[in-house]
A and B are shown apart, each in its own frame.
Chain A
Amino acid sequence: SAVISQKPSRDICQRGTSLTIQCQVDSQVTMMFWYRQQPGQSLTLIATANQGSEATYESGFVIDKFPISRPNLTFSTLTVSNMSPEDSSIYLCSVVTNTGELFFGEGSRLTVL
């Protein structure tokens, strides 16, 4: 398994501001993802965080709104830019281990006022 730490665990933000979420893994992993879980809904993949290159975004998500960095194999950040109340969600970092399982962090619960 992998131990995944996300910061912040929760935050309340004002409309129009930006927030950066950090994800730290206790071991080197090849694949890291960012998911969004809107209130009462399932998980939606935002993007694959690629080490040393631009993230790969899913349909409906763009880099200007959700810039992602992954400077090494154990760390990634997701920024939610120019936030609106519709961005209120749980944002989850996930990694693939060498056994092919997908593990998740505890999530960052974001409320935008």
Chain B
Amino acid sequence: AQSVAQPEDQVNVAEGNPLTVKCTYSVSGNPYLFWYVQYPNRGLQFLLKYITGDNLVKGSYGFEAEFNKSQTSFHLKKPSALVSDSALYFCAVRASYRSNDYKLSFGAGTTVTVRA
């Protein structure tokens, strides 16, 4: 079975401060890891993914995430948050050995609020 935990329901930061959204995963074998963002009344937008290679992955809108195999984590980060980053963020995982199975397991989501 595969699963994702996002331990924080909400994250509040001031604009210009670093932003971190936490994610840990459980999967058999090597993981494929993803971050998505959902703005109010919108669908999900892909931010970034980790498949293999460099543990630090850079994505859209200045976001990056670091894969840590020993801690089974894939935390999302942004060095300087913007008010426009306020949204709902989802971490997702699937097991890489299931090459033809693209079904993702999503975390519960973390609401990020960036105050001006």
> Which residues of A are interface residues toward B (Cβ below 8 A)?
1, 4, 6, 31, 33, 41-43, 45, 48, 92, 94, 96, 100-107, 109
Contact = CB atoms under 8 A, between A and B. Distances in A.
Interface of B: 32, 34, 36, 41-46, 49, 51, 90, 92, 102-104, 106-109
Contacts, number: 46
| Chain A contact residues, majority secondary structure | strand
Contacts of A105: 43
A100 B102 contact: yes
A104 B49 contact: no
A109 B41 contact: yes
A103 B49 CA distance: 12
Contacts of B108: 41-42
Interface centre among B32, B42, B103 (most CB of A within 10 A): B103
B103 A48 contact: yes
Nearest to B48: A101
Contact of A106 (B43, B49, B107): B43
B87 to A, nearest CB: 14
Nearest to B44: A104
A102 B104 contact: yes
B46 to A, nearest CB: 6
A26 to B, nearest CB: 15
Contact of A45 (B42, B44, B46, B103): B103
Given A102-B46, A107-B43, A109-B41, A42 B90 contact: yes
Nearest to A44: B106
Interface centre among A4, A43, A101, A107 (most CB of B within 10 A): A43
Contact of A102 (B34, B41, B51): B34
A101 B41 contact: no
Interface centre among B34, B102, B107, B109 (most CB of A within 10 A): B102
